[in-house]
Amino acid sequence: MTRRNEYDVTDRVKTTDSADVAAAVCRIYQDLYQRADAGNLVQAFKDLTQLYRGEHPDYYACDTSYHDIQHVLDVTLAMARLTDGFVRSTNGDVVDERLFRFGIISALHHDCGYIRHRSDTRHRKGAEYTKTHVSRGGKFLEDYLARLGMSDLAHAASATLHFTGYEVPIDRIRVAPEFRLVGNLLGSADMLAQMADRCYLEKCYERLYPEFVYGGLTRERLEDGTERVVFRSAADLIFKTPHFYAAAQKRLTSELQGFGRYGEKHFSGENLYLTELEKNIEHARRLKCEEDLTLLRRHPPETLDDQEHESAL
């Protein structure tokens, strides 16, 4: 059966549906820790959904079509699965149930720094925050954890989110050992989930490149004051994807200490994230070889409310 564009790597969980992903994550949590309920996880999913829809009184709706709610939910599901695999490979004393919930809530908010505050009059697109979105998201998460009754973990929020970004090199992130574990799992989940998305390449071409333009990532300023072109076009981004994958592999295996491997334990064998990721990279190699963008034929799900967004601008 062909995997559907709006579903996860198993083709069973609808990653555009926060309730469906919440149910899957809560099942993993309850089964892993033998809990009768999922604590504050259900509330966290509801709050995240309201934030991305623009129903938070202080924030506009999400307007980044690559870093949208499907991406966030997909990463959160991957985070639950990798953590499950890690705990089953070690023991629950290393990552206890409270630390598991911290990891899930961090995954839900790892890209909330792209969302514009209603008082922001300087920026018209969330993607303009690309270079600083992790730090912005960390501040939001600190406050949110306190409101959720987890203020004792709020101090680690910003540092943990930096495992998903490039503002701070991973080896320079100062964090306690237990939060480094969570950070390695979160950074791995972020990379694996997006690159295993069935529409990954289409999203890079149609959505990620425009975000890079707004975020100032298509050019790089060198030490001598000159500029270097990083990506000349959306097509150039696609053709450079195999090269990016080589760097991603190093980040996954070395900087994030190979924590992506715990997907194998969760799935009891084949790591479906790596399997789907490899399919995408092989397709990217074919695109680069043939230089034929008509091979990008999939249609990513639409998750943004265009009318609501236009009213916010």
Domain boundaries, the chain: 18-312
Q: Which fold has domain 18-312?
A: Catalytic domain of cyclic nucleotide phosphodiesterase 4b2b (1.10.1300)
Q: What is the pLDDT of residue 120?
A: 94
Q: What is the pLDDT of residues 4-46, one digit of tens each?
A: 999 999 999 999 999 999 999 999 999 999 999 999 999 999 9
Q: What is the pLDDT of residues 222-243, one digit of tens each?
A: 888 889 999 999 999 999 999 9
> Under a CB-based contact definition with an 8 Å cutoff, are residues 216 and 97 in contact?
no
Q: What is the pLDDT of residues 65-78, one digit of tens each?
A: 999 999 999 999 99
Q: What is the pLDDT of residues 75-105, one digit of tens each?
A: 999 999 999 999 999 977 889 999 999 999 9
pLDDT at 306 over 80: no
Q: Which residues of 255-268 are buried (b: 16+ CB within 10 A; e: fewer)?
A: ebbebbbbbbbbbe
In sequence order, what are the beta bridge partners of 227? 221
Q: What is the pLDDT of residue 309?
A: 38
Q: What is the pLDDT of residue 82?
A: 98
Q: What is the pLDDT of residue 1?
A: 64
Q: What is the pLDDT of residue 310?
A: 35
Distance CA 3, CA 298 (A): 11
Q: What is the pLDDT of residues 124-173, one digit of tens each?
A: 999 999 999 999 999 999 999 999 999 999 999 999 999 999 999 999 99
Q: Output helix, strand, coil percentages for the chain, rounded to the nearest 5.
A: 60, 5, 35
Query: Average pLDDT over the chain, rounded to whole?
Result: 95
What's the distance, CA 222 to chain centroid? 29
Residue 221 structure tokens: 């300023």
**pTM of structure:** 0.96
Separation in Å, CA 285 to CA 25, 42, 79, 196, 201: 33, 40, 28, 15, 11
Q: What is the pLDDT of residue 307?
A: 37
In sequence order, what are the beta bridge partners of 117? 59
